[in-house]
């Protein structure tokens, strides 16, 4: 049984997994698949180093089965198929008391502040578990976490059937936002600069363009009778995206910022005044988003087999990071954590 230990300095070392007996209120999971996320790539590049205890086990987009349950853990049994909502809130801060524990002031993100899922046996609080239906394969179930991000973003956007949504950035999260918005009956236009990702989005039935080749403002106006988009999602994390996001919405249109910007971007506040725009941030997910995500994944409504472009064994995690770094011909890379 193995684990991938991040040693800092863009290096992973494979070593024996150190199983932790589940204590009261905890469960131990036999991890099957774990996705590599943009956040993991940021950690690999040295970001958020102050939050890691090296050697660190990353990973928070996973599926598996329960191996053992701790004392006082009701409702869960060995063999249950599960995924984890990787949030450990304090329960006592003002955000938690207001019912927003997903953005707890003292939030511990499991996989960053706590050891993650890139190991065969992983112990987590039972309150993080979501049950997987029989019909959902464990490979596809590793996509539940990023789908839940998209469900949260689309829910907060209040996108209604028939509304026009522009999505800037067509990585795994942007493309999932486009797909989830479509399931809600929204019309969607996706802007993405990576040609492989533009092609893939088109093959999945999303209207997608490269904003370096197409006049995005003109196209959105054409699609909306000159009005502009009802809602714009910024999912690229780029300065160009931050500039574009205020140029696309209609009067009183909404902008949802999903991307995590490494540097504070320059944003045109004049447009907020001019068109009475509304800006919302969206961070991770709540339990309801995980349940919606599981329903969508299990219902076969999302082309998950097309979004999972690569599956690597645990000992090739380093290669997975390099592949993500290069961009190019990949969407979601999964790591197979079985022995």
The two structure tokens encoding residue 126: 């039972």
Q: Is 60 a catalytic residue?
A: no
40, burial (CB in 10 Å: exposed 0-12, middle 13-18, buried 19+): buried
Q: Which does 211 bind (CB under 5 to 8 A by kind): Zn ion, ligand NAD, none?
A: ligand NAD
If one counts every other C-beta atom within 10 angstroms of the C-beta of residue 189, the result is: 23
Q: For 284, how many CA atoms within 13 A lie in the half-sphere containing its CB?
A: 21
Under rule CB under 5 A, residue 93 binds Zn ion: yes
Binding to Zn ion (CB under 5 A): which residues in 26-45? 37
Q: How far is the CB of 36 from Zn ion (least distance, A)?
A: 9
Under rule CB under 5 A, residue 89 binds Zn ion: yes
Binding to ligand NAD (CB under 6 A): which residues in 36-75? 37-39
Q: Is 39 a catalytic residue?
A: yes
Binding to ligand NAD (CB under 6 A): which residues in 216-255? 235-238, 240-241
Interface with Zn ion (CB under 5 A), residue from 90, 160, 260, 288:
90
Please tell me whether the peptide bond between 55 and the residue prior to it is cis, using omega within 30 degrees of 0: yes
Q: Which uninterrupted H or E stretch holds 233?
A: strand 229-234
Under rule CB under 5 A, residue 84 binds Zn ion: no
Binding to ligand NAD (CB under 6 A): which residues in 126-185? 149, 168-174
The two structure tokens encoding residue 237: 């994390």
Instruction: State how far the alpha carbon of 221 is from the alpha carbons of 151, 182, 195, 218, 263, in Å.
Output: 26, 19, 23, 5, 30
Contact segment (CB under 5 A) with Zn ion among 89-97, 115-123, 170-178, 229-237 equals: 89-97
Q: Are 215 and 191 in contact (CB under 8 A)?
A: no
* Active site amino acids: 39, 42
Residues that bind ligand NAD (CB under 6 A): 37-39, 149, 168-174, 191-194, 197, 211, 235-238, 240-241, 258-260, 282-284
């Amino acid at each position: 049984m193995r684990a991938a230990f991040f040693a800092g300095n863009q290096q992973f070392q494979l070593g024996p997994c150190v199983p932790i007996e589940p204590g009261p209120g905890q469960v131990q999971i036999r991890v099957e698949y774990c996705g590599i996320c943009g956040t993991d790539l940021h950690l690999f590049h040295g970001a958020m180093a102050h939050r890691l205890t090296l050697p660190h086990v990353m990973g928070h987009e996973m599926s598996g089965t329960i191996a053992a349950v701790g004392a006082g853990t009701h409702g869960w049994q060995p063999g249950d198929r599960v995924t984890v909502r990787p949030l450990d809130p304090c329960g006592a801060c003002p955000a938690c008391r207001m019912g927003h524990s997903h953005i707890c002031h003292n939030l511990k993100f499991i996989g960053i502040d706590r050891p993650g899922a890139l190991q065969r046996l992983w112990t987590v609080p039972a309150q993080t578990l979501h049950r997987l239906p029989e019909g959902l394969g464990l490979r596809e179930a590793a996509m539940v976490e990023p789908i839940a991000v998209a469900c949260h973003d689309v829910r907060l956007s209040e996108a209604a059937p028939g509304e026009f949504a522009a999505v800037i950035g067509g990585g795994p999260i942007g493309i999932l936002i486009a797909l989830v918005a479509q399931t809600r009956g929204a019309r969607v236009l996706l802007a993405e600069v990576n040609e492989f990702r533009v092609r893939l989005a088109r093959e999945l039935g999303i209207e997608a363009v490269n904003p370096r080749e197409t006049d995005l403002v003109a196209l959105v106006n054409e699609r909306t009778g000159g009005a502009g988009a009802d809602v714009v999602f910024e999912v690229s994390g780029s300065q160009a995206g931050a500039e574009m996001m205020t140029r696309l919405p209609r009067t009183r249109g909404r902008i949802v910022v999903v991307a995590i910007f490494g540097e504070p971007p320059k944003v045109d506040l004049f447009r907020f005044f001019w068109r009475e725009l509304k800006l919302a941030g969206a961070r991770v997910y709540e339990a309801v988003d995980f349940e919606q995500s599981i329903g969508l994944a299990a219902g076969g409504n999302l082309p998950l087999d097309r979004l999972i472009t690569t599956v690597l064994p645990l000992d090739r995690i380093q290669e997975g990071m390099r592949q993500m770094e290069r961009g190019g011909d990949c969407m979601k890379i999964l790591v197979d954590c079985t022995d």
